[in-house]
Amino acid sequence: MNNFRFRLAQFFAGRTGVDAIGRTATVTALILMLVTMITGSNIAYLLAMACLVYSIWRMFSKNYQKRYAENQRFLTKTAGIREFFRKNFVKLKNLPAKIKYDRQQRKIYSIFYCPSCKQKLRAPRGRGKIQVTCSRCHTQFIKKV
Ligand SMILES: [Zn+2]
C-alpha cells in the first residue's frame, strides 16, 4: 500500500494537479451535466465533456510552468468576480446570525431614522419622550421610545 502511495506521489510530482482553473472547469462541467439532465441538450453535454477533459488534461499536464502562468492570469482576470462571490457568500453565511442579533436589539432598543438625513439611529426603549441628536448630521428632534 505504501509502495502504491509512493508511486502515486511520484506520478503526480511535477504535474500541475488541481488548480483554480481545474476546479472551475470541473464545477462548470458538473453544472453543464445538470443542464444536460434537465434539458437533454447535446450542446451542454459536449461542453460538459470538453470541460471535464480539459480539467483532467490540466491535472496531468507536465508543463507545470505554462499551466502555472495560465492559472495566475486566470486568477488576476477573475479577481473581481471571485471577490464579489466571496463577499456575498460571507453575507449569506452571516445572515441568520444578523437576523437573530437584530431581533435581540429591537427588544432593547427602539430603531428609527433621522428625519433629516435618514441615518439609522437607536435609543434604549421605555424612556418615554427623549430629545435625540443625530450622530451624522446633528439634527435634534423629539422621539418617543
Ligand atoms: Zn441626520
23-78 residue pLDDT tens: 999 999 999 999 999 999 999 999 999 999 999 999 999 998 999 999 999 999 99
Phi, psi of 102 (to 5 degrees): -60, -40
Query: pLDDT averaged over the chain?
Result: 94
> How far away, in angstroms, is 94 Cα from ligand 1 center?
28
> How far away, in angstroms, is 138 Cα from ligand 1 center?
6
Dihedral sign, Cα of residue 71, residue 6, residue 27, residue 46: positive
pTM of the model: 0.59
> How far away, in angstroms, is 125 Cα from ligand 1 center?
20
The mean per-residue pLDDT over the stretch 85-112 comes to 95
DSSP 8-state symbol, 18: S
Which comes out higher in pLDDT, residue 12 or 138?
Answer: 138
> How far away, in angstroms, is 50 Cα from ligand 1 center?
57
> How far away, in angstroms, is 126 Cα from ligand 1 center?
22
DSSP count for the chain of H helices, then E strands: 5, 4
pLDDT band of 133, cuts 50, 70, 90: very high
> How far away, in angstroms, is 88 Cα from ligand 1 center?
29
**Among the listed residues 16, 53, 58, the one whose alpha carbon sits nearest the alpha carbon of residue 32:** 53
Cell triple for 128: 418615554
> How far away, in angstroms, is 108 Cα from ligand 1 center?
22
pLDDT band of 2, cuts 50, 70, 90: confident
Half-sphere exposure of 27 (CA within 13 A, CB side): 7
Cell triple for 116: 433629516
> How far away, in angstroms, is 145 Cα from ligand 1 center?
17
Determine the residue type at 129.
Answer: K
> How far away, in angstroms, is 114 Cα from ligand 1 center?
5
> How far away, in angstroms, is 133 Cα from ligand 1 center?
8
The whole-number pLDDT of residue 1 equals 61
3-class DSSP assignment, residue 40: coil
